Structure 1
């Protein structure tokens, strides 16, 4: 039995779930990305934030695909338009970005919690520079794709109204 075959799977009290989930994604994804970037470049903030960035990144990495599925169900209900197709394409692009953000947040947490070596190797020095840089790039990319997706969704809903 396919739970997604039933159109009520993504409805609450008869209302589509996608618009409700979108608000959580639009708020939590950039905040999580910002926390990951701050943790990556600011050691005292990293210690204060603790495991919050990886936990938030895990939440976002799970929430985005559910939101995409709910959006696909809503698109099937209201019909495809070029604006909706563009929004859907961008929403699908957000999935790998949030997965990369999760990986980056875990890498930042792991690097920070590794015991200090008596004599750092070139590999540990490189990791200490590369991981934060990749985390920041991933955070920025995630925010950009989130904004583009949200903008495309808003245009799909509100243009011509």
Structure 2
């Protein structure tokens, strides 16, 4: 996917990742630490994680297509290198969501889950969720720097 309605697809797809990945991460944490939330939200979290995992490589492929058509710079290279790592974070979030769903299914079937296992899973979900959200921020920040550079600084006029 290269363009949508004449716009680079990357510029549109990236907004899905910027919203879905942190939202999924937040909901996953809720499901991990609050059983009542898990009962209501676990399938939504799994679905959002799957959508994020599918959209991530589409977004990075569209970004690589766009990179070939704009002037290369060190900032753009940094952004694309960071962007290429996002697929690992999306997959980790999907695995964490799948584990939450597995725990949920066991609970619904009346099979007990050892408290230690629940706490370990919660810790894993929290770490993966925070890491994913931080990486989204880092990638977005580097993309903004590559796109806009020092534009705000260049427009600022010194006070006389």
- Tell me if both proteins adopt one fold, taking TM over 0.5 as the criterion: yes
> TM-score when scaled to structure 1?
0.87
Match of 1:39 in 2: 31
Asked whether 1:158 is paired with 2:151, we answer no
Asked whether 1:145 is paired with 2:125, we answer no
CA contact (8 A) 2:42 2:97 kept: no
**Offset at residue 117 of structure 1 (A):** 4.0
> Aligned match of 2:64 in 69, 72, 78?
72
Q: Where in structure 2 are the equivalents of 1:12-161 lying within 5 Å? A: 12-114=4-106, 115-117=109-111, 124-161=114-151
What is the RMSD of the two structures over their aligned residues, measured on CA atoms?
1.5
**Offset at residue 102 of structure 1 (A):** 0.2
CA distance in 1, matches of 2:144, 2:129: 22
- Name whichever of 109-118 and 97-106 sits farther off: 109-118
> Aligned to 1:68, what secondary structure does the other structure show?
helix
CA distance in 1, matches of 2:16, 2:125: 22
> Aligned to 2:68, what secondary structure does the other structure show?
helix
CA distance in 2, matches of 1:92, 1:56: 20
CA distance in 2, matches of 1:87, 1:28: 19
How far does the alpha carbon of each residue in 1:81-120 deviate from its partner, in whole angstroms, 9 at most, with x for none? 11111111111111101100000011011112203447x6
Q: Which runs of 4+ in 1 moved over 6 A?
A: none
Aligned length: 149
> Aligned to 2:131, what secondary structure does the other structure show?
helix
Where structure 1 has 5 or more consecutive residues not aligned to the other structure, the ranges are 1-8
Where structure 2 has 5 or more consecutive residues not aligned to the other structure, the ranges are 152-160
> Aligned to 1:77, what secondary structure does the other structure show?
coil
CA contact (8 A) 2:82 2:139 kept: yes
